[in-house]
Amino acid sequence: MLVLGVVVVERFFAGRKWDSLRSIARLGIAGCLGLALASPLLLPGAQLITHSVRSQVAALYSLPKSVFINFAFASFYGFPTNSTHYFGPSNYYETAAFVGPTAIVLAVLGLWSRWRRVEVSAIGVALIALVGIVFTTIGVKVVGSVPGLSEVVWTRALVAIDLLLSVLAGVGLSVVMDREAQRKTKRRFVAVSMLALMGIGAICVVGVTGMQTGVDRSIREQSLVWPCVSLLITGGASLLLVGGARRRGQTGKAARPRHAGGRRGASRVLLAVIAVAGAEVAFLLTAAPTLEPSSHVGFVPTRAEVQLEKAVGSARVGFETCPSLVQVPSLGILPEANGVYHVAEIAAYDPILPDRYFSVWDQASGQPPLPTAGTFCPSITSAALARVFGVSFVLGPVGSATPTGTRRVGEIGGENLFQVPASGTVMLKAIGSRASLLKGDSRAVRVRYGGGGRVTFAVKLAHSESVRINVTDLPGWRATVDGRAVALHPTHGLYFLARLPAGTDRVTLTYWPRLFSVGLVLAVVAALILAVGGLLRLMPVARRRSGRGGARELEGSRERDSGASGLRDSGNVSAVGVLSGVPQVDTARSR
């Protein structure tokens, strides 16, 4: 939006008001169609966000200035991997932003050489604004005071900064490829490259000599290798271009054939581009280790994971001890990966985690309210707390005390496994009061999870009973009993209560938000508009081509007619020539 605003303002003050209005209209239409195409995910996603921790005011803070160096270096502060360690000023995953020194050099060159182009200057303004927001306290406070922007974690704008740097680097690479660029532009390339090399040298002196431990010093020394190599290659490419430009300036045009000089100039440009682009690609591919390794084999379950899946089935698993309510557990399987092993854990790492989890936890545990976050891991220390979240099993470290009201059923992977009686995802006779729930006046029903947001369970009831379904209360859940709809009553904002009739056999819960259906309709309409617009756009082209052919034929006939007319005119003899016996051409007509 900032880039668009700068472009529109520039055109407006340049006297091109209609151009700016047309640009706004075209971008507005394109934006609306893009939103319509994405609406199947955007609409239900926005609905989920309003019920999540993201709907609250985000913490306003800026990143330390030392993070700037991460744009040029991949491992200046190490990596959080087994082969090394991280010793940076903040969380690595919040500060990793490297694009490489070559990209930075090209970005500076592109902005310096093409800043008069409005789109380039607009990108530069957006880049400076985001840097001010991310790295200064004043900037983040100013933008956080704007309604609607206080919910944004602005430190994540590092990704947008990388994008803008990459775009400007592309502009700089186009400058390098421009054979007709002036010699001063080539000299700018040399100047920026040399300044970058001097900066790397200063960092080597200051950054490495100040390290206290030998391990950290070794990590930092290795982090400087690729930036230095890539900058040396970039500097050599810049000198090659300047040398070619100087030779073209000193050699006269008549001194050498035109084609030979053009070929040599093109070869220099091609070599320079290959060197610069190759150095950047090599840096990005080799400077950092693979943090999340990929494999064609997929997830390979360990023996403990297989045992846990067989022991608990589809029942929900909790943890006796978590580092904190908003930290990832050290027990069981890593959150969000447990689904791969078909284990349902009551721990989540989700940016749109429902905020009701925290409010229900505060009420059930009696602890002071804690700030919400995208991570949730409650410590299940009793059967009463387990029933609040429908937990049937609890994992705890070896040697820990048995949670109140549970019984130990075994040991898996060096962790104790405890079972919670009368607790599960679906519990019969579980009315809405907290007192009856904590007493365990219910019995669990075995459930089955299906793909696409589906939960099924089967029961046989002699008479109508109440059932508590521990599925997060979100708009879009529907229940059917043998194909007949059953009303779901949200309770405490975290689960549903339903009244099942006698003789119930199979109950199915499906998640299909109405906004998802609305989004599908909007996406189809947008796709049709784009298809029809594309066809209409192609039709005038065909007409113009046919019109051009007819115009050529008409023009050719006119030329033939004019030629014949010219011949007839040139054959006319004036009356004076006839009388005198000397044929004379009518010069006025021939002209």
Residue 529 reports pLDDT greater than 90: yes
**For residue 406, what are its two tokens?**
């549970």
Strand ranges across the sheet with 477-481: 447-450, 454-458, 506-511, 477-481, 484-486
What percentage of the chain carries pLDDT values higher than 70?
Answer: 74
Cα separation values, 171 from 5, 73, 130, 376, 555, Å: 20, 22, 19, 44, 44
Q: How do residues 409-443 score in pLDDT, each as one tens digit?
A: 999 989 999 999 988 888 886 444 444 444 445 67
Q: How do residues 226-281 score in pLDDT, each as one tens digit?
A: 788 887 887 777 777 766 555 555 544 444 444 444 566 567 677 777 777 777 77
**What does the alpha-carbon distance between residue 100 and residue 226 come to, in Å, rounded to a whole number?**
9
Rounded CA Rg of the chain: 36
Strand partners, 480: 485, 508
Residue 190 reports pLDDT greater than 60: yes
Q: How do residues 141-163 score in pLDDT, each as one tens digit?
A: 888 788 777 777 888 889 899 99
**pLDDT, position 434:** 45
**Predicted TM-score of the model (pTM):** 0.65
Token look-up 């490495």 returns 208
Q: Which helix H or strand E contains 538, and what residues bound it?
A: helix 514-571
Residue 339 reports pLDDT greater than 60: yes
Contacts of 252 (CB under 8 A, 6+ apart): none
Token look-up 């300047």 returns 242
The DSSP letter of residue 53 is G
Mean pLDDT throughout 108-123? 87
**pLDDT, position 79:** 82
Q: Which of 487, 491, 485 is nearest to 471 (CA)?
A: 491
The two most distant CA atoms of the chain are separated, in Å, by: 138
Residue 291 reports pLDDT greater than 60: no
**pLDDT, position 577:** 36
Q: How confident is the model at residue 80 (pLDDT cuts 50, 70, 90)?
A: confident
**pLDDT, position 519:** 94
Mean pLDDT throughout 194-200? 83
| Phi-psi sector, 483: left (phi>0), alpha (psi -120 to 50), beta | left
Q: What is the mean pLDDT of the chain?
A: 77
Strand ranges across the sheet with 316-319: 344-345, 316-319, 393-397, 415-419, 407-412
| Pairing verdict, β 393-397 and 316-319 | parallel
Q: Which amino acid is at 516?
A: F
**pLDDT, position 90:** 80
Q: Which of 477, 420, 464 is nearest to 444 (CA)?
A: 420
**E strands, 69-200, in order:** none
